[in-house]
Amino acid sequence: MPDTVIVFAGGDPIPPSAVADLPEDAYVVAADSGLDRARELGFEVDLLVGDLDSISSDGRQQAEAHGTRIERHPVYKDATDMELALKAARRQGARRVIVIMRHEKRKLPMAVAHLTSPGFPGGKSREALGLRGGGPSRVITDKAILGFDPATRGPVVLSVHPGVSVDEVREHTGFQLAAPATVPETPLPTAEELRLLREEIDPRRVYLR
């Protein structure tokens, strides 16, 4: 049973510095083109989930060559690729789950029609509700890094990416989002991180723009 599961959704690129402290031994799940986002940040995917209609052909070929397990679903289904990926993450029973995704209201709504992967319903602990694993730990988007208040278990802004304000983050979030008086800026990638991305991880610019 892994200690940490990282779930990658598709969408805009994430600053490398936002994922610099993620554990290297985490179990990585990708929802369709989330595999491309994972690989451009240097993560090898353990499980690819979805209908595979948006993943790049190079990404899929490299995933198959790497031995990534593929859980393919039909295009017409009752759940989104991300919902299926979160279900797969939950099955791992990890202590914490980290989600990496695009930051927009429709993906961070106030309410959902179906609760497939609960975090902390009603602010209650998962143990009290009889749920496995430690639940969500971080949500890393293309605008900010979100965490959860240890007392209320409500979402809170931990840092904003360069050029993004807290107001902009809130504007693109469908629910109330707490933030301290001073929110730090996510550090820019170091010269060594950029070198690794450009020279070793993706020298042919398959994923990097």
Contacts with 178 (C-beta within 8 Å, 6 or more apart), sequence order = 149, 154, 155, 156, 157
Residue 190: inside a domain? yes
- Is 96:4 a contact under the CB 8 Å cutoff? yes
How would residue 21 be classed by pLDDT, with cut points 50, 70 and 90? confident
The kind and range of the H/E element at 192 are helix 191-195
How would residue 104 be classed by pLDDT, with cut points 50, 70 and 90? confident
**DSSP classification of residue 201:** I
Residue 209: inside a domain? no
Q: What is the per-residue pLDDT across 39-96, written as a single tens digit (0 to 9) for each?
A: 888 899 999 999 999 998 888 888 888 889 999 999 888 888 988 998 888 888 878 8
Of 121 and 4, the one with more pLDDT? 4
pLDDT at 208: 66
Residue 208: inside a domain? no
Which residues partner with 127 through β-bridges?
none
Neighbouring CB atoms inside 10 A of 188's CB total: 13
Provide the domain limits for residue 31: 4-201
pLDDT at 100: 92
Q: What is the per-residue pLDDT across 163-188, written as a single tens digit (0 to 9) for each?
A: 999 999 999 999 999 999 999 999 88
Residue 195: inside a domain? yes
pLDDT at 33: 92
Which class for 18: exposed (0-12), middle (13-18), buried (19 or more C-beta within 10 A)? buried
Residue 80: inside a domain? yes
Residue 98: inside a domain? yes
pLDDT at 136: 79
pLDDT at 1: 73
- Is 12:102 a contact under the CB 8 Å cutoff? yes
Residue 173: inside a domain? yes
Residue 207: inside a domain? no
pLDDT at 112: 65
Split into its structural domains, the chain has a count of 1
Of 158 and 41, the one with more pLDDT? 158
Q: What CATH number did the domain enclosing 120 receive?
A: 3.40.50.10240
pLDDT at 184: 95
The type of residue at 196 is L
pLDDT at 146: 95
**Model confidence at 113: pLDDT above 70:** no
